Amino acid sequence: MTIGIHRPTQLVIDQSAIFQNIATEKSRLKPGVELFQVVKANGYGHGIIQVARVAEKAGATGFCVAILDEALTLREAGFMQPILVLGIMEPQYADIMAAQHISATVGSIQWLEEATRYLADAHQLAVHLALDTGMGRIGFQHPAELSQAVEYLEGKNQFDFEGIFTHFSKADSADTAYFQQQIGRWEAFMAVLPTRPKYVHVSNSATSLWHDACNGNMIRYGVAAYGLNPSGTELTVPFDLKPAMSLTTKMTFVKELPKGYSVSYGATYTAQQDEWVGTLPIGYADGYERRLQGFHVLVNGEYCEIIGRVCMDQMMIRLPHEYPVGTIVTLVGENHGKTISLQDVADYCSTIHYEIACGFTQRLKRTYK
């Protein structure tokens, strides 16, 4: 997608915030526990390469991604650290992963059997066995299946049994009953393991923040690195997270709208009196949701309502008085002492801040400070 470098709309990424969030969490880890930074989905919208560079400086010793192409992007950028692809890739790409020293997630013995056919004799593929302890997404479901897979790996020099892991679905909840169920299933899996591989990991951001006794010897540090509370507002993070992302633009058009005139598609907003309206060069094609009509932005420290439907490329706001074209508008972040957080936007959209951050498209210019 074309990046909008010739318009005044931008995502501003505070690299020092990312550094601080990672370094603080790393300082809390027990000796011998590694931190792999999760940079999938373009670093949760923050920029995969830029985040990886900051994470490296902050002490991350590896990376986690969702798909093979993200791992290859890191390799092409010169990152030599371990990289784990968290999703199940098709076995036909096993040799690419092996050649690039990219670790594969495996959830069935059938995957291993098929991948064997594609692996060149000169390449050994590092694998992490995924265990489904209750997430219901990927992974071995029964200890007996795990035993069969480990036995298969012992007889195949094409593979390096590098890691084993699971993922908790309610580590970010005050109700820990289901979390404890998953712990029990994890322990049942581990009981059949004759020896442990190099990496044993169960902790995402939420698990490491609130259940650090489960960390194993590696954590997959995700959304917290970007300054976002994994639980939304349900639980309090044990240290201050610093949000790294803000979104700003400038007004491109200002007019006085007469009483009775309407704004945007469907004429869903009609002025009840003469009022000043500003137009902003951003819309739902940039990932700023159409459903944000009625929400607000910040202009000179004042909350201004979004009026009418958000268009594909533009949106309108009601102003308290006339402002000049070019006035800075904050959609996410701080403006003259007032703040709009990604959590505020997510709450209005009845979703989570992950979705909002990841939803900002590549058309938005990203500026790093």
Predicted confidence at residue 120, as pLDDT, reads 80
Annotated binding site for substrate: 137, 312
Q: β-strands 34-38, 62-65: how paired?
A: parallel
Tens of pLDDT, residue by residue over 53-106, are 999 999 999 999 999 999 999 999 999 999 999 999 999 999 999 999 999 999
Q: Are 252 and 309 in contact (CB under 8 A)?
A: no
Annotated binding site: 137, 312
Query: Rounded distance, CA 221 to CA 36, Å?
Result: 6
The tens-digit pLDDT sequence of the chain (369 residues) is 799 999 999 999 999 999 999 999 999 999 999 999 999 999 999 999 999 999 999 999 999 999 999 999 999 999 999 999 999 999 999 999 999 999 999 999 999 999 999 998 878 999 999 999 999 999 999 999 999 999 999 988 999 999 999 999 999 999 999 999 999 999 999 999 999 999 999 999 999 999 998 899 999 999 999 999 999 999 999 999 999 999 999 999 999 999 999 999 999 999 999 999 999 999 999 999 999 999 999 999 999 999 999 999 999 999 999 999 999 999 999 999 999 999 999 999 999 999 999 999 999 999 999
Which CATH architecture does the domain made up of 15-226 adopt? Alpha-Beta Barrel (3.20)
Find the length of the chain.
369
Query: Rounded distance, CA 355 to CA 150, Å?
Result: 36
Contacts of 240 (CB under 8 A, 6+ apart): none
Predicted confidence at residue 155, as pLDDT, reads 83
| Domain edges within the chain | 15-226, 245-368
Catalytic residues: 40, 265
Query: Rounded distance, CA 222 to CA 228, Å?
Result: 9
Predicted confidence at residue 348, as pLDDT, reads 98
Task: Tell which residue, 278, 335, 332, 336, has the closest CA to residue 307.
Answer: 278
- Look up residue 112 and give its DSSP letter: H
Given CA atoms 316, 317, 323, 326 in this order, what sign does their dihedral have?
negative
Predicted confidence at residue 122, as pLDDT, reads 74
Tens of pLDDT, residue by residue over 19-60, are 999 999 999 999 999 999 999 999 999 999 999 999 999 999
How much of the chain is helix, strand and coil, in % rounded to 5?
Answer: 30, 25, 40
Give domain 245-368's CATH number out of 2.40.37.10, 2.102.10.10, 2.60.40.1180, 3.30.43.10.
2.40.37.10
Neighbours of 209 (CB within 10 A): 25
C-alpha separations of 296 from 199, 289, 352 in Å: 46, 12, 18
Query: Rounded distance, CA 38 to CA 52, Å?
Result: 9
Give me the percent of the chain exceeding a pLDDT of 70: 100
Predicted confidence at residue 186, as pLDDT, reads 97
